[in-house]
Structure 1
Amino acid sequence: MAAKPDIVTLDQIGAFDTLIDARSPAEFALDHLPGAINLPVLDDEERRIVGTLYKQTGAFEARRIGGAWVARNIARHIEAVMQDRPAGWRPLVYCWRGGQRSGAFALWLRQIGWAAAQLQGGYKGYRRWVVEQLDALPPTLDWRVIAGPTGSGKTRLLQALAARGAQVLDLEALARHRGSILGAWPDGQPQPSQKAFDTALVDALRRFDPARPVWVEAESRKIGAVQLPESLTRALQAAPRVLLQVPFAARLALVLQDYAWLGRDPPALAQRLLALRGLQSNETLARWQAWALAGQLPPLFAELMQLHYDPLYQRALARAAAAPVCTVTLPDLGAQALDRAATALLRDCAAAPAHP
């Protein structure tokens, strides 16, 4: 009989070929370790039934029923996923606490002859580690914050910096949201859960070299439904800022390009604008909704920028703790202008002190 699986810690993950999440699909969808594949030993309904049995009739009945399902599901995964794995394959399995689900899976794999191991503490232990990292990592990095009003090309400038080899953190890409009332991702793409956002953020932060600046866009504490960790918020508030100055016409053209998809569903756009009730007069809101329903995006977005987004930006700028270290004036937001701006920033602003 194969020996019980080894119990390994998070810092040993790199020694394994495949990371297997044995939890249910719903648990996996909420969050999982980066790079893991989901091979559940109980699906969502089976897990619900076993949990109910455990509470109502006791552990033995739950394990009797659940054990058969676990065995059947593990066998199915072995047949469907693992038939081409060589004898030297090393899988690491985890579940919620590093208990029975991952233990059973790893034991079966070891019975076959693979050097399977079990992650100590499971996902719950990993989640504790993520929370610790979210607090510890941001103060160790040398941040540069790019600020500017709506449509000033902050994300595009980050992309230009990344193309020139700079370290860049795109928080809106991680959050799948632009951080405003109209900031949802196109085509109904949902935001990640808070836990999944935290996982992706830690994964990104750990890749940065603390000896080099990290460029990031100025953000509020929340990006859509997800929230930045307090440690990162404090670090960005104290970091040197780059202020972008862009002609209004160029900004409006960019906004119309980025948000053109909203015009495909005028009633939905008009409904979204109701979030501004109480922040704008009823007369202004009615005008904006009429433009939305008529598909008249240029006047709608122009007034949204002038009456809503630009005043918000000016107030946020006044509250910023750090003085600007650079001001960049862009005549337009074409690729050449952004590349020149990125070159100038890396030449003139990358070496600025982290805490002026």
Structure 2
Amino acid sequence: MFQDITVEELLELQRKGEVSLIDVRSPSEFEEATIPGSINIPLFDDEERAAVGTLYKQESVDAAKDKGLELVSRKLPDFVRAIGGADGPRKVVFCWRGGMRSRTSATLASLMGLRMLRLAGGFRAYRKWVVETLESFTALPPCYVINGYTGSGKTELLERLAERGYPVLNLEQMAAHRGSIFGHIGKAPNNQKSFDSLLVHELLRWREAPYLVMEAESKRVGKVVLPDFLVKAKEEGEAIFVDIPVEERVANIIADYRPQEHKDDCIRSFERIEKRMHTPVAAEILAALRDDRFDEAVKLLLLHYYDPRYQYATDQYEQDRITITASNVEQALEQVIRVLPPVPGG
């Protein structure tokens, strides 16, 4: 039969790469939030889950169990094969609260000869661990905070630094959002639960790091809100301002946002800020977007909207900063590396 394990035991097994983590909840539950590294092999799809739940509420527990058994019996061979095909010598299954779905899944797979584990308390127990662990962080190591006008390649700098082993917190990556009114374009932004899960694992990963590198974000990034200790660490960190030419910034934005592929989304997003701009300039930007003159539209947005707003925001704080002037992100990266202490373990 299967064995129950705690969240802490699961995390240790994941760290060693010894298990596959299988979320047997419905696809919509999985999409809303899951444990990082999980795959979705649902015992019931969304319609089946709704049908069983209706019987449970309106008729009886036995009626719901009978319906569940009927549904599972039809898909049992494919379901067990899918679990068996997951990587890892041992499989951990979980549902919402460690109830009937994960118990049924673990039992059936065990009977077919698979080495099964079940997460006690399910996703709810994991979420409780995430919240409590985040609350345990009251301060972070000293931070280096990458600043710069929109399009300066700040996120790319973080990605390149991470590739070289630097202790990076890429908040926009965890939020799946670029942090602006256009930040969702071409992405599926994460909700707070998903962001919190990714964040807590990164914080634990770098808990012993002598410093962290992050981008200068506002408190809200897309759908998520940063915890206060993170905002405080950013505000107290060593600011590194990256200054690259506006033409290079325009090119970076075009490459990242790909407006030619998301034209309608770009127009809709611009219409949300159109009234905040001087009318003739706003009309010029909108015309450029509609006529596929994206370089022109982006440059006007930078000069007449984003740059003034950024300058106003930075003028509110008297903060020393290290200024890096470069022709492109590649040059900026090498200069940032000269500013940072040696990479830990490097």
> Which category describes the TM-score, using the shorter chain as reference length?
0.7 to 0.9
1:121 Cα deviation (Å)?
A: 1.2
Q: Which amino acid aligns with 1:190?
A: A
**Matched-pair identity in %:** 34
Q: 2: CA distance between counterparts of 1:245 and 1:297?
A: 22
Query: Does 1:250 find its partner at 2:244?
Result: no
Q: Deviations over 1:256-294 (max 9, x none)?
A: 4434x2135555433321111431133332222112112
Scaled by the length of structure 1, what TM-score is found? 0.84
Where do residues 1-356 of structure 1 align in structure 2 (5 Å cutoff)?
2=1, 5-13=2-10, 14-15=12-13, 17-82=19-84, 89-137=89-137, 139-186=139-186, 189-259=187-257, 261-264=258-261, 266-320=263-317, 323-330=319-326, 332-335=327-330, 337-347=331-341
1:80 Cα deviation (Å)?
A: 4.2
1:163 Cα deviation (Å)?
A: 4.0
Q: Are the counterparts in 2 of residues 10 and 120 from structure 1 also a CA contact under 8 Å?
A: yes
Aligned in 2, Cα 1:68/1:181: closer, same or farther, shift over 3 Å? same
Q: 2: CA distance between counterparts of 1:39 and 1:76?
A: 10
Moved more, 9-18 or 68-77: 68-77
Scaled by the length of structure 2, what TM-score is found? 0.87
Q: Which amino acid aligns with 2:322?
A: C
Q: 2: CA distance between counterparts of 1:78 and 1:257?
A: 43
Q: 2: CA distance between counterparts of 1:290 and 1:90?
A: 58
Q: 2: CA distance between counterparts of 1:83 and 1:220?
A: 43
Q: SS in structure 2 opposite 1:91?
A: strand
Q: Which runs of 5+ in 1 are unaligned?
A: 352-356
1:54 Cα deviation (Å)?
A: 1.1
1:218 Cα deviation (Å)?
A: 0.8
Q: SS in structure 2 opposite 1:129?
A: helix
Q: 2: CA distance between counterparts of 1:127 and 1:235?
A: 24
Give 4+ residue runs of structure 1 displaced > 4 Å after superposition: 83-86, 264-268
1:310 Cα deviation (Å)?
A: 1.2
Q: Are the counterparts in 2 of residues 160 and 342 from structure 1 also a CA contact under 8 Å?
A: no
Aligned in 2, Cα 1:316/1:74: closer, same or farther, shift over 3 Å? farther
Q: Which amino acid aligns with 1:344?
A: R
Q: Are the counterparts in 2 of residues 175 and 226 from structure 1 also a CA contact under 8 Å?
A: yes
Aligned in 2, Cα 1:60/1:347: closer, same or farther, shift over 3 Å? closer
Q: Are the counterparts in 1 of residues 325 and 332 from structure 2 also a CA contact under 8 Å?
A: no
Q: Are the counterparts in 2 of residues 266 and 294 from structure 1 also a CA contact under 8 Å?
A: no
Q: Deviations over 1:145-187 (max 9, x none)?
A: 111111222123223433443111222222222211222343x
Q: How many pairs are equivalent?
A: 339
Q: 2: CA distance between counterparts of 1:266 and 1:30?
A: 27
Q: SS in structure 2 opposite 1:262?
A: coil
Q: 2: CA distance between counterparts of 1:84 and 1:268?
A: 37
Aligned in 2, Cα 1:137/1:64: closer, same or farther, shift over 3 Å? same
Q: Are the counterparts in 1 of residues 152 and 329 from structure 2 also a CA contact under 8 Å?
A: no
Q: Deviations over 1:222-276 (max 9, x none)?
A: 22233323332232222221122333343334334434x2135555433321111
1:84 Cα deviation (Å)?
A: 9.4
RMSD over aligned Cα, in angstroms?
2.8
Q: Are the counterparts in 2 of residues 103 and 118 from structure 1 also a CA contact under 8 Å?
A: yes
Q: Are the counterparts in 2 of residues 244 and 328 from structure 1 also a CA contact under 8 Å?
A: yes
